[in-house]
Amino acid sequence: MRRFFNNKVGVFGWVVFFLILLTTFFGPLFYPVNPFEIVGKRLLPPGSSFPLGTDYLGRDILAGIVHGAKTSFFVGIMAAALMMTIGILIGALSGYHAGFIDGVLMRVTEFFQVLPSLILAMVLVALFKPSQGCIILAISVSSWPVIARILRAEFMSLRERDFVTASKALGATNTRIIWRVILPNALPSMIVNATLAVGIAILFEAGLSFLGLGDPNVMSWGYMIGSSRIYIRQAWWTVTFPGLAIFLTVLSLSLIGDWLNDFLNPKTKGRRQG
């Protein structure tokens, strides 16, 4: 417990994260305004009737923030999960089997690393329907190689350890050694990376919806910024608040990632303190 509270910045990250999570689940109950509905005059400043003001159509910005949280988390978590699955599968197999399998899988990884991720995602969403499923797929397909490379490096060092040799001597199959013996030892770094991956995916989704490539049926922070940005001359609040929401969410995930890193690998100091 002391280790938990030692890191004040990490605690701050957790607090912000839980506040946003609470908003995601219970916000729509306490603030049941439809984010797509025109509820007042357009471009009203933040104040009494609308806490964060209204946008260029007269939609409630606070409602947009509250409902947009769900989109960010849903896409962020699903995309991160898919990204981690592909990355772990390829990274583990390639790091455990040296030689031919590693060669082939690494060429595939390099191929996906060469493709510019944002452009690829834009193409995918433009060619197919801009649904949440397609966005999740586009984000994870273009972002998994980093995870694969990190895990491959971990596997390459772990596979030479004594406990792996011992399992082999006991006759464990390759499948068992990969998933049951080595992977649990690489878990701490994968947990940290999964946290960061959620943040990266949230930013990615925000970028796509900013460009107008989001799912038009759900409210999204990126969409709020993209659609309102031509009105910033008259109304700074239409763009500022959704952006702050994205920033705080990703910041909290990043702080939690650092905290987890210190907590799970106490020997290495935080990533960012270098």
Partner 1 sequence: MSSDSLGFYILRRILQAIPVTIGIVLLIFILLRLAPGDPAMVYLGEAGGASEETLKEVRKEFGLDKSLSEQLFIYGKKFLTGDFGFSYFQGKPVLDLILEKVGATALLVLTAMFIAVIIGILTGVKAAKHPNSLASAFITTFSLFGFAIPSFWLGIMLLLAFSLYIPLFPGYGMMTAGHAGNTVQVLIDILHHLVLPASTLGIILIGPYSRLSKTSMLEVIGSDYIRTARAKGLPEHKVIFKHALRNAILPILTMVGLQLGRLLAGAVLVETVFSWPGMGRLMFEGILRRDYPLIMGILFFSSIVVILVNLITDVLYSVLDPRIRRR
- Alpha-carbon distance of 128 to 156, in angstroms, equals 38
Token pair of 123 as six digits: 């193409």
What sign has the CA pseudo-torsion 135, 140, 141, 142? positive
Nearer to partner 1, 41 or 229 (CB): 229
- 117 versus 132: smaller Cβ distance to partner 1: 117
Give whichever of 92 and 94 is closer to partner 1, judged by the CB atom.
Answer: 94
In the complex with partner 1, the residue whose CB is nearer, 48 or 273, is 273
Query: What is the smallest separation between the CB atom of 176 and partner 1, expressed in angstroms?
Result: 32
Residue entry with tokens 């509820």: 39
Q: Report the nearest approach of partner 1 to the CB of residue 3 (Å).
A: 20
- Shortest distance in whole angstroms from residue 134 CB to partner 1: 12
Residue among 1 and 233 whose Cβ is closer to partner 1: 233
- Name, in order, each residue with C-beta under 8 angstroms of 254's C-beta and a sequence gap of 6 or more: 13, 195, 196, 199
Q: Smallest distance, Å, CB 270 to partner 1?
A: 9
* Alpha-carbon span 176 to 193, nearest angstrom: 23
Provide, rounded to whole angstroms, the least separation between the CB of residue 49 and partner 1: 24
Nearer to partner 1, 12 or 36 (CB): 12
Contact at 8 Å (CB) between 76 and 96? Answer: no
Smallest distance, Å, CB 265 to partner 1? 17
Q: Which is nearer to partner 1, 23 or 238 (CB)?
A: 238
Outline where the chain has alpha helix (H).
2-6, 8-30, 61-96, 100-114, 117-127, 132-143, 145-158, 162-169, 174-176, 183-210, 221-228, 237-264
> Long-range contacts: 239-242, Cβ < 8 Å, 24+?
241/52, 241/61, 241/62, 241/65, 242/61, 242/64, 242/65, 242/68
Between CA 77 and CA 199 the distance in angstroms is 9
| Binding-site ranges for partner 1 (CB under 8 A) | 107, 110-111, 114-120, 122-124, 126-128, 199, 203, 206-207, 210-213, 222, 225-226, 229, 232-233, 236, 239-240, 243, 246-247, 250-251, 254-255, 272-274
Nearest distance in Å: CB 175, partner 1:
29
